[in-house]
Chain A
């Protein structure tokens, strides 16, 4: 399971390859390893989508916190509107990322 941070400031994205190094087209038995490579690509995208989802969830919680604050005025209105926009943008990025994953999963 992913955690949001390691050692306080490390991110969930502090990863190297999701499957440990670049795959070779030909395995040890000299057969084509394209199926393994494609699976690795899908795994990589799946991981990235999950991580992005977690970050988006955190962002989605912030507008409600801002709404309950007594801050008033033009800048406060702008702040709340932009925070809502951010949450929408974050959701859109997740949706787009999931579409990317679907494209990969539907791939040959």
Chain B
């Protein structure tokens, strides 16, 4: 049975320059050694051929003809044996060369040794595409349709049935540039301005919000009610790491949509706020925010995404989902000096980035984890550490039209999904019998990738959280110092005993008393200073 696996690439974060130079030197050494072993393989192969020629040239020599050794006055060698051995040496050298190549790649990937160069190249492609598509929108549209169609055709052929998701995979490299170009077209930014900025999508989101916000308010209402809901079931449990928090986020996201049944009764537009008691008696907080649910009276609807993406902080914080989370944080009693970590998927990640950007003066937000969220242009202050996990072909993460900043406080893990053989874990059956798994450990797979748990057999949208979880697992397995440093920081923020878990549910309405009236939580006059 086939499944999917994710290979991760890391950019940004904190590195020691000296260590990095040492890693780069070793990577070069391994690359050179691999090339030498490949050359050795070729040379031994040539030696085998040359010995064969020597053997042929001795056809008439009595020593060679007798096959029993040298005749008097003649000389020969056991050429068949020597030729076979030379071929064996060639194969052994090739294997060592391949092994060293793989190890150099592992070292390079674990320490992001070429990220600067890759980032520059990617920026160049994005800006070029952006300007081209803004200047020639018709041609860009035709090109995009062609690329999508080609991606779908090639992917569907490889899978044996039509699958439109491959259209995303085929355009992964161009998504940011094309979206940036579309945004320039919408917002009226001139092509010559493009290389000087990266926020075209956010500017156009601001323009669009002027239209979509009144429309949404008319249809859905602007009256947001946030209430605490209780459950006996453990949906968001205790966490000591990013990986555990991601798993809790997935559980809450799937439980509220009915994809899994943990018996909690929690429904859509529900978030979790947890209080951890530290050893010194102070409190730390973790806010878990799932993504868009698209329900009619939900603050986590589709249109709120546009508002959250605006370059205008006032518009961002007027988004119902941001208002809801801010209200939940207020109701939970988070103090302004108490450390807070936020983790969100998709729209939940954009909300987290928005709150970190726009409520930086009200809360001590120390770490934000986003999964599949387009937040490259959110002005998150440098005091807040950001861990962004994105898939290269999920489209949603590319909606910002730009790469995430490559700074000390901002780490990005980008995953790339490929087909794999799906395995099953070992387990114990209902009757107590043991079912052996057929899983291949990450060690055996040489940390080249991490299997996606529960992935479908055919290609699916990689925006699902299970893909981000696999990407994070592969990145942490690599032992990248940047990833480990960010992971440690996250752990330190929520280091303590879990004391409370509160769930808050938001609902939109046309009428009624709003528990989170728009504008009340935010001092909008301070924006734009």
Number of interface residues of A (CB under 8 A): 59
- Which residues of A40-96 are within 8 A (CB) of B? 40-42, 44-45, 48, 51-52, 55, 58-59, 62, 65-66, 69-76, 78-79, 82-83, 85-86, 89-90, 92-93, 96
Cα of A102 to Cα of B298 in the assembled complex, Å = 81
- The answer to whether the Cβ of B64 comes within 8 Å of any Cβ in the partner chain is yes
- Residue contact A69 to B100, C-beta cutoff 8 Å: no
Question: When each residue 69-98 of chain B gets 1 if its CB lies under 8 Å from chain A and 0 otherwise, what string results?
Answer: 110011111110110011011001101100
- The answer to whether the Cβ of B149 comes within 8 Å of any Cβ in the partner chain is no
What residues on B are CB-neighbors of A96 within 8 Å? Answer: 85, 88-89, 92
- Residue contact A66 to B26, C-beta cutoff 8 Å: yes
What residues on A are CB-neighbors of B330 within 8 Å? Answer: none
Q: List the B residue with the shortest CB-CB distance to A94.
A: B89
Question: When each residue 436-453 of chain B gets 1 if its CB lies under 8 Å from chain A and 0 otherwise, what string results?
Answer: 000000110011000000
- Which residues of A2-58 are within 8 A (CB) of B? 4, 9, 11-15, 17-18, 22-26, 32, 34-35, 37-38, 40-42, 44-45, 48, 51-52, 55, 58
Query: Taking chain B's interface residues, is the majority helix, strand, or loop, or is none over half, making it mixed?
Result: helix
- Residue contact B54 to A41, C-beta cutoff 8 Å: yes
The total of interchain contacts (Cβ-Cβ below 8 angstroms) comes to 184
Query: Which of B26, B63, B79, B484 sits near A73, CB closer than 8 Å?
Result: B484
What residues on A are CB-neighbors of B57 within 8 Å? Answer: 22-25, 37
- The answer to whether the Cβ of B227 comes within 8 Å of any Cβ in the partner chain is no
- The answer to whether the Cβ of B461 comes within 8 Å of any Cβ in the partner chain is no
Q: A37-B57, A41-B51, A44-B47 known; 12 other A-B pairs, CB under 8 Å?
A: A4-B36, A32-B73, A38-B76, A48-B40, A48-B43, A58-B33, A70-B481, A71-B111, A73-B479, A75-B110, A75-B447, A76-B110
Given A41-B82, A66-B26, A78-B446, answer yes or no on A59-B100 (Cβ-Cβ < 8 Å): yes
Q: List the B residue with the shortest CB-CB distance to A81.
A: B443
Cα of A82 to Cα of B106 in the assembled complex, Å = 11
- The answer to whether the Cβ of B61 comes within 8 Å of any Cβ in the partner chain is yes
Cα of A85 to Cα of B30 in the assembled complex, Å = 14
Given A12-B36, A86-B103, A93-B96, answer yes or no on A107-B478 (Cβ-Cβ < 8 Å): no
- Residue contact B89 to A100, C-beta cutoff 8 Å: yes
